[in-house]
Chains A and B, each alone.
Chain A
C-alpha cells in the first residue's frame, strides 16, 4: 500500500492556466507538507499543515493555495501558472516535525 500518494505524477500545461495537485497519506500522521524541488535539486518547504491547520507558510506567491480537508489530505492549487513554477512538487507527512518525513513520488510540473 502506498503510504503517501500524490496525483498527478506529471503535469504539462500552459502559462496562465490553473492546476491542482492532490496528496493523501494513509500513515495516520498529523502533519503534512508541500515541498518544491527546483532544477538544481534544492528541496524547499512551501507549506505545512498540522491536523488541518496551516502552521508554515513560507515566502510563496499567493497564487499557491494549499487546502487540507482532513488530516489525511493536503492539496495544492496553483493559479496563473508561470514558467518559474516548473519544478517537482513533493508532498510529505510525519507524525510531528521531529519525526522522519515520508515523501510521495512527486509531481513533475512543466509549464510550456
Chain B
C-alpha cells in the first residue's frame, strides 16, 4: 500500500463545475497535510494546508480532512481551464521530518 494514494486521472470536468480531488493516507499519526498544484514543466505551488478535521476554505478552494477515515480532499468550485494541472497531496510522516507526496491527480477543465 502506498503511503499517500491519489487517483492519477485524468479527471475531466466542464468549466464552471466543481472538481473533487481525493487522497488517502496510511499513516494514522500524520497531522499535517498539504495540497500543491503543479503545471506541466513548472514547480509545485501550495494551494492549501490543513491540520484539523473538517473543512478549510480559501477562495474557490476547500480542503477537507477526515483523520478517522484517513482521507483528505480538495474541492475546486467554478473550475476554470486555468485550473488544469496536476494536484499533489502530501502528508507529514509521523515521527519523521519529511513529507510523503502522492503521485498526483491530473485535472483537465474543458470549456
A residues whose Cβ falls under 8 Å from a Cβ of B: 31, 40-45, 48, 50, 55-56, 58, 90, 97-106
Query: What sequence of 0s and 1s flags, for each residue 78-111 of chain B, a beta carbon within 8 Å of any chain A beta carbon?
Result: 0000000010100010001111010110000000
Give the residues in chain B near A55, CB-CB below 8 Å: 97
Bound form: Cα–Cα A41–B42 in Å: 11
- Give the number of chain B interface residues (Cβ < 8 Å): 21
Query: Do A50 and B43 touch (CB < 8 A)?
Result: no
Query: Do A104 and B97 touch (CB < 8 A)?
Result: no
Given A41-B86, A43-B88, A56-B96, does the pair A101, B101 have CB atoms closer than 8 Å? no
Query: Do B49 and A100 touch (CB < 8 A)?
Result: yes
Which residues of B from 10 to 49 have beta carbons under 8 Å from A? 31-32, 34, 38, 42-46, 49
Q: Name which residue of chain A comes closest to B2, CB basis.
A: A42
Query: Do A48 and B97 touch (CB < 8 A)?
Result: yes
Q: Name which residue of chain B comes closest to A91, CB basis.
A: B43
Interchain CB contact (< 8 A) of B44 among A43, A44, A45, A56: A43
Give the residues in chain B near A58, CB-CB below 8 Å: 98
Query: Do B43 and A43 touch (CB < 8 A)?
Result: no
Interchain CB contact (< 8 A) of B32 among A44, A45, A90, A98: A98
Excluding A41-B104, A43-B88, 6 further A-B contacts by CB distance (< 8 Å) are: A55-B97, A97-B32, A97-B97, A98-B51, A101-B99, A106-B42
Give the residues in chain B near A56, CB-CB below 8 Å: 96-98
The 5 closest A-B pairs by CB, nearest first: A103-B43, A43-B101, A97-B97, A98-B32, A100-B46
Q: Name which residue of chain A comes closest to B48, CB basis.
A: A100
**Min C-beta distance of A84 to chain B, whole Å:** 19
Give the residues in chain A near B104, CB-CB below 8 Å: 41-42
* Of listed B43, B46, B96, B97, residue having the most chain A CB within 10 A: B43
Query: Do A42 and B44 touch (CB < 8 A)?
Result: no
